[in-house]
Amino acid sequence: MTVALWCVLIAIFLPYVCTAIAKASGGYNLKDNHDPRDFLESLNGLGRRAHAAQLNSFEVMPAFAVAVLAAHLVGTAQLVTVNVLAVLFITSRLLYIICYLADWAILRSLVWFVGMGLIASFFFVSI
């Protein structure tokens, strides 16, 4: 398996890190797990931002996975380049989550645009 494919696996689990942060910050009771989505929607502050980061992470993950798989399938890009782009994307997602949790809205948006640019880069390096 390539580093880029391992990064896809990491991207799959990043939203759940955000969920854990949201639940922990909101005092979630694991014994009362009847309606966790309603609980997450009721949060404020850090918990609400962590939940929003979770939702965004779920939204962007398929695009990243498709970009990595497309670069692998086309095979014209250097594997080192694909691996570096994947690591940079995961780094951008971690920075995005940190910015969301810290409530740094402008920086968060800039980091989001960088991540989207990285996704597009997988296609451009495969031309």
Instruction: Parse the chain into domains and list their residue ranges.
Output: 3-124
81: how many CB neighbours lie within 10 A of its CB? Answer: 15
Residues in contact with 109: Cβ distance below 8 Å, sequence separation at least 6, in sequence order: none
Over residues 81-101, mean pLDDT: 98
The arithmetic mean of pLDDT across residues 25-35, rounded, is: 77
Please, is 68 exposed, middle or buried when counting C-beta atoms within 10 Å of its C-beta (0-12, 13-18, 19+)? buried
Residue 7 sits at the vertex; the CA angle it makes with 40 and 84, to the nearest 5 degrees, is 130
Q: Please say whether the beta carbons of 57 and 97 come within 8 A.
A: yes
Coil vs helix vs strand at 33: coil
- Count CB-CB contacts under 10 A for residue 60: 21
* Helix 3-25 / helix 45-74 crossing angle, nearest 10 deg: 170
Whether the per-residue pLDDT at 31 is higher than 70: the answer is no
pLDDT at 26 exceeding the cut of 90: no
For the stretch 35-61, pLDDT in tens is 888 888 989 999 999 999 999 999 999
pLDDT at residue 68, rounded to an integer: 97
Please state which of the ranges 1-5, 70-74, 77-81 shows the lowest mean pLDDT: 77-81
CATH among 1.25.40.80, 1.20.120.550, 3.30.365.10, 3.30.360.10 for 3-124? 1.20.120.550
